[in-house]
Structure 1
Amino acid sequence: MVMMGLERLLVAFKSKMRSLKMKKPYDKIEKSESMRVEIRSRKARKLIEKTLEIADSPKTKTYAF
């Protein structure tokens, strides 16, 4: 009986801690169009960088005859 009470208390405590972690101390800011463009350009740059890395690696060298 005592163990069941402790289990319930522990579950309640864990859920309370989770709910406290999820609360954010700030309001979400809506993204402006310029912010969206900047995010897209960063993603594009990263994709280009990865593609060039793969293309330049010695494993993917192909020679056209």
Structure 2
Amino acid sequence: MGLGRLMVSLKSKMRSLKIAKKSEYDKVEKSESMRMEIRSRKARKLIEQTLKVADSPKSKTFAF
């Protein structure tokens, strides 16, 4: 029984520490250049995936 109460108290202390750490800093707002960089990374990743599928020998491509 004593071990169970100790674990409960430790868990509650850990939760309170996590909550306190979250409020120590402010969230940084994204600038327009950061947004553009994120979009270009996503676009590059999508293009890379598309080319990988298109170049794989398993995919069937149709010439129209």
Q: 1:10 aligns with which of 7, 12, 16?
A: 7
Matched length: 62
Q: Percent identity?
A: 79
User: C-alpha deviations, 1:22-65, integer Å up to 9, x for none?
Assistant: 62564321111111111111111111101111111111033448
The normalised TM-score by structure 1 is 0.68
Q: Are 2:50 and 1:39 equivalent residues in the alignment?
A: no
User: Structure 2: which 5+ runs fail to align?
Assistant: none
Q: Are 2:40 and 1:27 equivalent residues in the alignment?
A: no
Distance 2:61 2:17 in 1: 55
Distance 2:47 2:29 in 1: 28
State the one-letter code of the partner of 1:57.
Answer: S
1:19 CA drift (Å): 4.4
**Which residue of the partner structure matches residue 62 of structure 1?**
61
The normalised TM-score by structure 2 is 0.69
Distance 1:35 1:28 in 2: 14
Query: Alignment RMSD, CA only?
Result: 2.4
User: Structure 1: which 5+ runs fail to align?
Assistant: none
